[in-house]
């Protein structure tokens, strides 16, 4: 059994530094990994769909291959995020666990509502309005969830990212379907990746 030991101040500082680094590595969710995973989904997934519709005159719909690629990418991102969150939050209870459940429930409920609205109005609105709901709806929902995450006291960058995604998503209401896809891919996916880079640099700077 380790007994109380006489430590010098330097040894104590070293113990603190090691313990802090280990705890951060093991207990804090890596926000850059989560942001990068979703950034790649938006950039590559939506970018692929945009490439499949940019020559369509008039616009019809993204190709089946590009939509399948988006679903596969999203499935990988979900699996990666679940793995990261589960590993880092194992054994942690209290307020954070309650916040995570609330955020997940909000996201799931919001997505369900989005799907119901899409199914309900699919035959009564034009291609442009449907494309807005179908493509920009998930981006708006993601923005709202990130703002909610910020309100609950999570990652410092969540408010900036969430606000930007809401602005980008809302601005898609005035765009043509192909342009919506390009906007979501570049301005949405690009924002996720940019925040991932900023968070990585801030974490490295903080030591």
Partner 1 sequence: MPAEDELDPVIHAPVRLRVLVTLATLRDGDDLSFTRLQELLGLTPGNLITHLRKLEDAGYVTTAKEGSGVTSRTSVSISQQGRKALDNYTAILRQLLDSASANGTSPH
Residues 139-178 that bind partner 1 (CB under 8 A): 153
207 binds partner 1 (CB under 8 A): no
Stretch that binds partner 1, among 5-13, 37-45, 123-131, 134-142 (CB under 8 A): 5-13
78 binds partner 1 (CB under 8 A): no
Using the minimum distance from each CB to partner 1, give the nearer residue, 94 or 126: 94
* DSSP secondary structure string for all residues of 137-194: HHHHHHHHHHHHHHHTT--TTHHHHHHHHHHHHHHGGGS-HHHHHHHIIIIIIHHHHH
22 binds partner 1 (CB under 8 A): yes
92 binds partner 1 (CB under 8 A): yes
Q: How many CA atoms lie within 13 A of 199 on its CB side?
A: 20
Neighbours of 156 (CB within 10 A): 11
Stretch that binds partner 1, among 11-19, 53-61, 75-83, 186-194 (CB under 8 A): 11-19
> Which residue in this structure is represented by tokens 């410092």?
156
107/145 Cα distance (integer angstroms): 7
Binding stretches for partner 1 (CB under 8 A) = 1-2, 4-5, 7-13, 15-16, 18-20, 22-24, 26-28, 90-97, 153
């Amino acid at each position: 059994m380790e007994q109380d030991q006489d430590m010098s101040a330097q040894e104590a500082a070293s113990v603190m530094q090691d313990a802090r680094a280990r705890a951060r590595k093991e207990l804090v969710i890596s926000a850059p990994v989560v942001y990068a995973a979703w950034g790649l989904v938006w950039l590559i997934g939506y970018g692929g769909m945009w490439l499949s519709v940019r020559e369509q005159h008039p616009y019809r719909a993204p190709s089946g291959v590009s939509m399948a690629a988006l679903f596969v990418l999203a499935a990988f991102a979900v699996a990666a995020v679940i793995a990261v969150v589960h590993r880092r939050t194992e054994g942690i209870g209290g307020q954070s666990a309650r916040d995570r459940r609330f955020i997940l429930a909000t996201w799931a409920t919001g997505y369900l509502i989005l799907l119901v609205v899409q199914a309900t109005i699919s035959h009564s609105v034009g291609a442009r309005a449907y494309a807005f709901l179908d493509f920009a709806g998930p981006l708006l929902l993601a923005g709202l969830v990130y703002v909610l995450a910020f309100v609950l006291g999570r990652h410092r960058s969540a408010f900036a990212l969430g606000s930007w995604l809401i602005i980008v998503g809302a601005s898609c209401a005035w765009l043509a379907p192909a342009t919506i896809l390009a906007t979501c891919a570049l301005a949405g996916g690009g924002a996720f990746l940019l925040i991932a880079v900023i968070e990585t640099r801030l974490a490295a700077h903080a030591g």
